[in-house]
Structure 1
Amino acid sequence: MKIKSRGLISLEINGEIFDYKLYQSLESLSRTKSQRQSAKELNISHTVFNRRLLKAEEKLGVKITQKVGNGTLLTKEGLQLLEEFQKYSIKIEKTNNINIAGGHISSGLLDSIRNPFNTNIYSSSDRDAFELARRGAVDILTLDDPLIAYERDIDFTPIAYDYLVLISSPDCGKIEGINDLNGLDFVNVTGSAQRLAWTSLKHYDIDYNIKYKLNSQFDAFKLVRNSENLHCFLNASYFKGNELLKFDTRHVISLIKVNEDKPAVDEFIDYVLTEGREDIKNQGFEPI
């Protein structure tokens, strides 16, 4: 796709212009996972909201949303489109608001915390968000997995614990022990805390096969649930599954303060660690 920035948060993609209304819809849906809830949040009817998404899909020629259970999630293409909007928004926005960028899990958690601060929260992969932070484009970096911080000896602030659960295709038999994972096919989600699962399986001398590699946990979930004899390890805060490796894959969701000169950054982090604890717990995480 050929993408150009046009105006505040409008993008020209393959000659078609997509404005802030689509951006608002994608951003809201990425948080609520519900078209009806997002429509209510944007003060429009569900019909108008759905038509907006369908019209964008028709112009793009790809699906940007997908039904999962009773909710609606963004596809890989939908997430990429949202990230493009967010990148251009970060570049042009001059504001006193706190700009936050990070992994899909950690940024989603921060977005759910009710707080009195003015924040702009952008969701991407840990590594893409790190590049924005490295260029000074954000005030706070959030990490789904602290690996980036460990690799570079960067101080980080843990805010919650999460762990991975095993998701399996519906036709798979019951998995009761570690040895039941021997010889199974898995989906790998790049840039996620899933590395802890692979390390654990190697520790237990389990022979496993990576059959697919994806960039989105939600795409991985959909693929597994619609396939035969396929498995994946995903974050327990977002997905329900087998807790076989719960203690082996426990990890921290963390923040890194990028902007040292904005007092509100320290105030926001302190708020998350104190008043925000209840919201963190309600989102399925274990507060620190």
Structure 2
Amino acid sequence: MKLQSKGLISLDINGNIYDYKLYQSLDSLSRTKSQRKSAKELNISHTVFNRRLLRAEDKLGFKITQKAGNGTILTREGLQLLEEFQKYLIKIERTSNINIAGGHISSGLLETIKHPFNTNVYSSSDRDAFELAKRGAVDILTLDDPLIAYERDIDFTPIAYDYLVLISSPNSKEIRNINDLNNLDFVNVTGTAQRLAWSTLKQYGIDYNIKYKVSSQFDAFKLVRNSENLNCFLNASYFKGNEVLKFDTRHVISLIKVSEDKPEVDEFIDYLLAEGQEEIKNQGFEPI
């Protein structure tokens, strides 16, 4: 897929021009998981919203959305397309707003909570967001997993705690303790705090098999729920599941201050660590 910037708010993808409306649609759908809710959010009809997606898929030659229960989510290709839009916008949108990029869980948290600041939040993997931060394209880097900071001895600021829950296929055997996880098949979500689950299983001598690898927790959830005898570990802040590894997988949701020339960045971080803790709790995370 060849991508080129075209004008202020469009992308040239394989010779076809996609404007800001498609970006808005993908961005909204990534949050609402519902075409009807997104259409309402964008103040257009559901028919117009659906037609916009179908036309884009017809030009692209691949699916950018897929059904998930009673809702709609972005496919891996749809998420990649959204991230390309977001990276492009970061490059052109050097405003007084606080630009934030980070992992899907941490950036989703900062996008959802109420606060008095003007922010632009861009969601990707921890490592992709880190590359943007290294180029100075963002003011704050958020991390679903502090591994990147640990590896490079970078100071980070914890803003919440989260842990992993076990999601299993329907009709799977009941998991009562860690020994029940022996010889089970799992889905691995790359670049997430799942590493804590795998290291815990190894520590306890539990044999496990990684049957699939995906890049999205929502893709993992769908795969598990539509399969037999399949399991995965996902963030408790977004999913309800078995807490068998709750204490072994507890970890911080954190951020790294990148920009040094915006006083509002410090004010935003101070807010998150004070008044914002109640909002963070309301979103299903454990406050600091």
TM-score interval for Structure 1 and Structure 2 normalised by the shorter chain: over 0.9
Do the aligned partners of 1:102 and 1:129 also contact (CA within 8 Å) in 2?
Answer: yes
Give the Cα–Cα distance (whole angstroms) in 2 for the partners of residues 286 and 71 of structure 1: 27
Do the aligned partners of 1:112 and 1:279 also contact (CA within 8 Å) in 2?
Answer: no
Give the Cα–Cα distance (whole angstroms) in 2 for the partners of residues 89 and 228 of structure 1: 41
Give the Cα–Cα distance (whole angstroms) in 2 for the partners of residues 101 and 208 of structure 1: 33
Q: Identity over the aligned pairs, expressed in percent?
A: 84
Query: What displacement does 1:95 show?
Result: 1.0
Q: In the alignment, does 2:17 pair up with 1:23?
A: no
Give the Cα–Cα distance (whole angstroms) in 1 for the partners of residues 73 and 166 of structure 2: 20
State the match for 2:205 in structure 1. Answer: 205
State the match for 2:269 in structure 1. Answer: 269
Hey, which bits of structure 1, 4+ residues long, moved more than 4 A?
none
Give the Cα–Cα distance (whole angstroms) in 1 for the partners of residues 275 and 64 of structure 2: 35
State the match for 1:181 in structure 2. Answer: 181
RMSD: 1.2
Further displaced range: 213-222 or 65-74: 65-74
State the match for 2:146 in structure 1. Answer: 146
Query: What displacement does 1:117 show?
Result: 1.4
Q: In the alignment, does 2:167 pair up with 1:160?
A: no
Give the TM-score taking structure 1 as reference length.
Answer: 0.97
State the match for 1:248 in structure 2. Answer: 248
Gaps of 5+ in 1: none
Query: What displacement does 1:280 show?
Result: 1.3
Give the Cα–Cα distance (whole angstroms) in 2 for the partners of residues 240 and 57 of structure 1: 32
Give the Cα–Cα distance (whole angstroms) in 2 for the partners of residues 67 and 269 of structure 1: 37
1:162-196: per-residue Cα shift (whole Å, max 9, x none)? 11111111131111111111111111111000000
1:120-173: per-residue Cα shift (whole Å, max 9, x none)? 111000000001001100000000000001111111111111111111111311
Query: What displacement does 1:47 show?
Result: 1.9
1:95-114 aligned at under 5 Å gives the runs 95-114=95-114
Give the Cα–Cα distance (whole angstroms) in 2 for the partners of residues 73 and 271 of structure 1: 32
1:28-47 aligned at under 5 Å gives the runs 28-47=28-47
Give the Cα–Cα distance (whole angstroms) in 1 for the partners of residues 224 and 85 of structure 2: 29
1:239-287: per-residue Cα shift (whole Å, max 9, x none)? 1111110111011100100001110100111112222222212211111
State the match for 1:131 in structure 2. Answer: 131
Q: In the alignment, does 2:2 pair up with 1:2?
A: yes
Give the Cα–Cα distance (whole angstroms) in 2 for the partners of residues 246 and 70 of structure 1: 29
Aligned AA (2:117) = F
Gaps of 5+ in 2: none
Do the aligned partners of 1:31 and 1:111 also contact (CA within 8 Å) in 2?
Answer: no
Give the Cα–Cα distance (whole angstroms) in 1 for the partners of residues 190 and 128 of structure 2: 12
- Partner SS state of residue 89, structure 1: helix
State the match for 2:228 in structure 1. Answer: 228
State the match for 1:63 in structure 2. Answer: 63
- Partner SS state of residue 187, structure 1: strand
Do the aligned partners of 2:160 and 2:280 also contact (CA within 8 Å) in 1?
Answer: yes
Give the TM-score taking structure 2 as reference length.
Answer: 0.97
